[in-house]
Amino acid sequence: MQRELKYPKWYHYDIYESLKGRIFSSESFSIAGLPGSGRTAALRVLCFNKGIQAEHFPNHKVLFVFSDTRGLGSVEERDYYRILYDDLLTAMGLPPDTSGNVDAYQTLSKLRASLSKAVSEYDRVVFACNRFFVLGGDLARVQLQLSLLRDAFKDSVVFIISLEHPQQEVNQDTEKALHPLATSTYFMPLLSHDEMERSLKLYLGFYSLNAPKDRLGVIAELSGGHPGLANLLLRLFARSPVASKASVGQLLQEPTLVNELERITRYFTDEQRSHLVRLAQVSDVSELWPTVSEDRVLVETGLVNKEAGVAIPLLKRYLVGSVHVPNARFDINGGRVFLDSKELEGLSLTEFRIIEHLVRNTGKIVTRDELAAIISPDSEGAGVSNESIDQYISRLRKKISLISDGEIIKTVFGRGYMVD
């Protein structure tokens, strides 16, 4: 790969001295020597003009490194590292490395060594990388190596990367699955300008004075690095300080969070969703991993990993509450029931609580005493007759029969009911 590009002079600065009066027009910068336009221009202007505030990193020196693979033709794994390495040297004001072609491992070693020097001089190194092509397994390996680099430097290094599919290699199913996802390495596939602005602001200001320090750990842990979820939590905690002390179950009652979680899983196939649900439910991920790891979309987007299973804790809890039975899906957290992809409508609160309890105990017999306590929680079921319980079950079955022929709720004579 030959990179015949002219680099502009890159700027690094001490944000404590503020950005006042430092305005970068579209004429004064170009990324990797390319004319500033479209998404590239938005990314550049955003980082310098809007993405950060002087108060975000008081007394911090931050080095920005911009990269763009557009116009480079075929890009292999080693080329990604070479691009980052070259741009880092330029940003640091160092002469280019003219040692010629080396393999991916050697280039990665050089990148690591240069990063060691950079983090000794700066408090944070931010890579803003535009138009990284999706090239199957190469992307997964790049993602892994960048994650290891980030972890090695203990968050002193941040990678913000937007992805793009080569026109001739677009796979519609993969594109749909990638679109709502980001990973802990901050890959942001196919984001709109607004989404990119929101995500960049979040990550560049994640440890800022504007965000309460005691909540940042909670946000990072629950969101798993997903920009949409992290941003929602940040806004939620700012609006309602007590929310940061809420349990995961209580957070999942927030409609905006539920909508975001639904958006993440919307384009997955039934098989992929089944993988996710099983990973969310088991304690030992290693038993399922050989099968799950064959699914490129789940692995390459960073949604699952061998250590945690489902990598986003909020999504993991959400999936546990969205239980599958044959031909049925119960979105317990969202308060909805779907049979054969059709929503079961007209449920009363008590009816929903009954079916929720049955589903949470799939395969187990739910006794009449348990159902009575659900129908009348204040009296713990006292005074609820068997006839009343039977009427609730009968009404549920009638509503289910309007959209499904299957028998979802079964009677266990003399003992109670169950969903099998």
Structure tokens that stand for 114 in this block: 């240069």
Q: What is the mean pLDDT of the chain?
A: 63
Give the residue, 66 or 119, on which the prediction is more confident: 119
Of residues 325 and 330, more confidence is placed in: 330
User: Where, residue-wise, is CATH 3.40.50 in the chain?
Assistant: 13-208
Both tokens of residue 141?
Answer: 């390996």
- Does the domain at 13-208 match CATH 3.30.70? Answer given as no
Per-residue model confidence (pLDDT) at position 218: 66
| Residue carrying the six token digits 């910068």 | 29
Q: pLDDT band at residue 155, thresholds of 50, 70 and 90?
A: low
Give pLDDT, residue 25. 29
What's the mean pLDDT in 365-374?
Answer: 84
At residue 100, does pLDDT exceed 50?
Answer: yes
Cβ proximity of 149 and 156 under 8 Å: no
Question: Is the pLDDT higher at 297 or at 82?
Answer: 82
**What are 57-66's pLDDT values in tens digits?**
445 566 777 7
Q: Out of 172-176, 236-240, 299-303, 408-412, which region has the weakest mean confidence (pLDDT)? A: 172-176
Q: Where in the chain is the domain with CATH 1.10.10.10?
A: 323-420
- Identify the CATH assignment for 323-420 out of 3.40.50.300, 1.10.10.10, 1.10.3720.10, 2.40.128.130: 1.10.10.10
Residue 96 has what pLDDT? 86
* pLDDT above 50 (res 213): no
Q: Is the pLDDT of residue 30 over 70?
A: no
Is pLDDT at 410 greater than 70 in this prediction? yes
Q: Give residue-wise pLDDT tens across range 192-208.
A: 444 444 444 444 333 33
d(CA 354, CA 294): 38
Rounded to whole angstroms, the Cα distance separating 288 from 304 reads 12
Cα–Cα–Cα angle for 224, 228, 229, rounded to 5 degrees: 50
Q: Please say whether the beta carbons of 223 and 233 come within 8 A.
A: yes
Mean pLDDT, residues 4-15 taken together:
26
Q: List pLDDT tens digits, range 304-315.
A: 777 777 777 778
314, 206, 207, 328: which is closest to 259 by C-alpha? 314
CA atoms within 13 A on the CB side of 390: 8
Contact 185, 150 (CB under 8 A): yes
Residue 131 has what pLDDT?
55
Q: Which residue has the tokens 């602005």?
A: 197
pLDDT in tens, 251-283: 777 777 777 777 667 656 777 777 787 787 777
Task: Tally the C-alpha atoms within 13 A of residue 210's C-alpha that lie toward its C-beta.
Answer: 15
- Residue 418: predicted pLDDT: 81
